[in-house]
Structure 1
Amino acid sequence: MIRRINGVYYVEGGNTKIAEGFAHFFKKLGGRILNNTEVKQIFTKEKKAKGVLLQNEEIIEGEKVIVNGDLLSSYERLLPEEERPSYKDRKIASYEPSVSAFVMMVALKGRRKNFVHHQMYFSEIYQREFNGIFVHKKFPEDPTIYISNSSYSNDRIAPGDNLFILVNAPAITFITKVESENYKEKIYNKLLAYGVDIRKDKVAEKTITPCDIEAKFFVRRGALYGISSNRKKDSFLRPSNVSKDIKGLYFVGGTTHPGGGSPMVTISGLNVAHHILNENRKKSSKVF
């Protein structure tokens, strides 16, 4: 069930229910899902996709390969450089990465009257925050803090406030445990300055850094949206859903056209689905 709250739609049970819904219908249509299974390589022959090689050495053959992952990282990891002339290693390295994130997931004891579903605490000088991220590649001294508390709208999913705390961060490849802990305390201190004392009611906590995002999701430098949109060309001409180099290879997700965010990601999937259906129709008409 999807509820509409003041112009914003909320999925009962959280956004994971959307993924579970897609998985349910995929299996119902005869699809096979392999969980916790890493793809090692995309097979090609004569510039055409022919399937994938899994980490366990199993080969899955197919005329269409759809990559739902970071576009630059996937090209770099899954295809030899000579097979992707449009995305040579040097070109991939030249792209400025988008913003990453420092995330804290915090469970609180009880519920607070001053928390709603969404809240923002802005930095005093927004421009300085992004100069720090993109120019100096540093975590903001005065970060803008976004907090989602979905149990406000659906109290069945948690006995107390369940906070998803998101802070903009630079796309980096290394952060020490001490640096991570210090930055977490900086965020807690800023919230305390706004009269929000989270520490005293905290019962569980997990922190995710840009390095964690890179390692877990194979996202290049932990950049959430792939190539940054700071230049007009990169903002309006996102990487294509269809590979220029390999027939039958497609990309969906936040790092390809039309962009990041759940609605855009869904549209990228629809783009690829429509493209493949049109290709199949043309092929069928040629046969008859």
Structure 2
Amino acid sequence: MHKNKSIIVVGAGVAGLASAIRLQHAGYQVSLYEKESMPGGKMHRIEKDGYQFDLGPSIVMMPELYREVFELAGRDPDDYIPMDKLEPMYTAFFGENKEDSYNMSSDNAELMKTLESFGDEDASGFLKYLQTIHERFLTAKHHFIQRPFRSPWEVLHPSVLRQAAKLRTLGSADTFVGKFIKNKRLKEMISFQTLYIGVSPYNGPSLYTMIPMIEHLYGVWFIKGGMYTMAASMERLFLELGGDVHYNSPVEEILIENRQAYGIRTGGQEVHADHVVCNADFPYAMKHLVTDEKAKGKYTDKKIDRMKYSCSCFIMYLGMDKKYEGRVNVHNFVFGKDLKENIEDIFAGRKLEHPSFYVHIGSKMDPSMAPEGKDGLYILMPVSDLSTADYKWNEDTVAYYRSRVFEELEKIEGFENMEDHIVSETHMTPPDFESKFYAHNGACFGLRPNLMQSNHMRPQSKAPKCENLYFAGSSTHPGAGVPIVLLSARIASEELIADDQADQVQKRRGGAHAGEK
């Protein structure tokens, strides 16, 4: 049906790759243009001195959404992204001496041991929290997360309003968790996970406490070779389906005339297509790729600059000369002295004095990601985005945060004298995310998913003031995080196909009426 229809996808990030696969499978001829030399966007890989690191995302949740991309094309996902379930899911380290650690298990019996160590009341409260947020998750899943909002008025439909009332989104994540759990540490272990999508638990919507619920009810997984295997495998499938990929091809402009997209400019040349799907970060795309003022609609440069952005990240990739055993696991969270102060400082733009951070050791699951007998450590610290930070990123800033990380790790058994064991080192800073991945303000997770920038108030997949142009990625509805970004690709693809089919029907009707005359 679509054999003669061509589509250009701008950007080979997660949503770009998934959109390209879906549309190529649907019968379109899809060409993917990517400024980097490899697929994945922030799902990139860093290879150095025999060590392999996932550049950005590292925690696999909701594996069915990863698998769906391959299943829809009739493939066995296990042939592309073999996964193992992690047990325990992660370890959390607390206290001045970091002697207190908690393994969070997806095994109910093991989990209850950990929960009961906080007291029977909090163990019971945790189970009540799971049930309550699971009910809201199902409402969000069926009525908001998986659907587009073509018009902001759609949300005023009585049936939608009824479902929205069930979500009770007005309270913060931290306040919501506090209704069920009193122990400070257990509460922090749940509520801090809103940082997975770049929002504070102290003012981010309570609905985002669905993240730890998803971990506990559906598990945390590891893809062999790390998260980059997902990006490389999506590229492989897209090529198998007959798609075209153009690397080292930065897109300079989305071509628009009379509010209709008709292609792109890359390398000074015009490339035309029937439709364009843009996976470049939405704020960047609206400021730099969509130059037609009418096609921008309300998303003027001023509006883009006024919008709220997620936090950014400082990430270190350390090749070590040893293996790490003992209490550390694949995923580890190290809590600083005062999590609330830490997060308030992130979103107020202050330099962090007692940062909390995450340590990922992929080579514990897949030894091929490091030289024999050695481990690679990926250490991520949430920090302010560039529009918020009241300090500059330079060598001194990197050295400051680097020393803070080592000070905290020194307190954990097995991580002593870390600097003596580093044989390879590199890092990513907020300016790197801005320059390498065009993440506006270096905000790794795109637009902040607060209430005023969620659901119908978030940029949608269909460009509101331009035909044949669609958007996918973390700054669009439904939001950030790999599984949710995969959903944005599904929505964008389905919207494009629906529009194209409606257009075909209209043309046939027009032709029939012309014939009657």
Counterpart residue type for residue 474 of structure 2: G
Q: State how far apart, in whole Å, the 2-side matches of 1:42 and 1:98 are.
A: 26
Q: State how far apart, in whole Å, the 2-side matches of 1:74 and 1:37 are.
A: 15
* Superposed counterparts of 1:246-257, under 5 Å: 246-257=466-477
Q: Which segment is superposed worse, 29-38 or 194-203?
A: 194-203
**Match for 2:406 among 185, 188, 213?**
188
**Match for 1:149 among 361, 369, 378?**
361
For each residue in 1:17-69, what CA deviation from the matched residue of structure 2 results, as whole angstroms up to 9, or x when unmatched?
11112111222222211112111111001101111101x21221112111112
* Superposed counterparts of 1:38-117, under 5 Å: 38-54=250-266, 56-80=267-291, 82-83=293-294, 84-114=296-326, 115-117=328-330
The match for 2:431 is 211
**Match for 2:381 among 152, 158, 167?**
167
Structure 2 gap segments, 5+ residues each:
1-81, 88-218, 510-517
Counterpart residue type for residue 153 of structure 1: M
SS in 1 for 2:302: helix
Between the two proteins, the alignment pairs up a number of residues equal to: 285
1:26 and 2:26 are equivalent in the alignment: no
**Match for 1:14 among 214, 226, 241?**
226
Counterpart residue type for residue 473 of structure 2: G
Question: Post-superposition shift, 1:235?
Answer: 4.0
Name the one with the larger strand percent.
1
Counterpart residue type for residue 150 of structure 1: G
Q: State how far apart, in whole Å, the 1-side matches of 2:351 and 2:412 are.
A: 20
Q: TM-score, normalised by structure 2?
A: 0.53
Q: State how far apart, in whole Å, the 2-side matches of 1:262 and 1:227 are.
A: 15
Conservation of the 8 A alpha-carbon contact between 1:86 and 1:244: no
Q: State how far apart, in whole Å, the 2-side matches of 1:43 and 1:284 are.
A: 23
Structure 1 gap segments, 5+ residues each:
none
Counterpart residue type for residue 75 of structure 1: M
The match for 1:271 is 491
Q: State how far apart, in whole Å, the 2-side matches of 1:177 and 1:110 are.
A: 27
Please list every run of at least 4 consecutive aligned residues from structure 1 whose deviation after the TM superposition is greater than 4 angstroms: none
Cα RMSD of the aligned pairs, angstroms, is 1.7
1:2 and 2:220 are equivalent in the alignment: no
Name the one with the larger helix percent.
2
Based on CA coordinates, which of the two structures has the bigger radius of gyration?
Answer: 2
Q: State how far apart, in whole Å, the 1-side matches of 2:292 and 2:270 are.
A: 21
Say if 1:181 and 1:81 are closer, same or farther in 2 by CA, change over 3 A: farther
Q: State how far apart, in whole Å, the 1-side matches of 2:444 and 2:379 are.
A: 16
Question: Post-superposition shift, 1:2?
Answer: 1.8
Q: TM-score, normalised by structure 1?
A: 0.93
Q: State how far apart, in whole Å, the 2-side matches of 1:147 and 1:265 are.
A: 23
Q: Which segment is superposed worse, 39-48 or 276-285?
A: 276-285
SS in 1 for 2:268: coil
For each residue in 1:184-213, what CA deviation from the matched residue of structure 2 results, as whole angstroms up to 9, or x when unmatched?
122111211334232121111111110111
SS in 2 for 1:242: coil
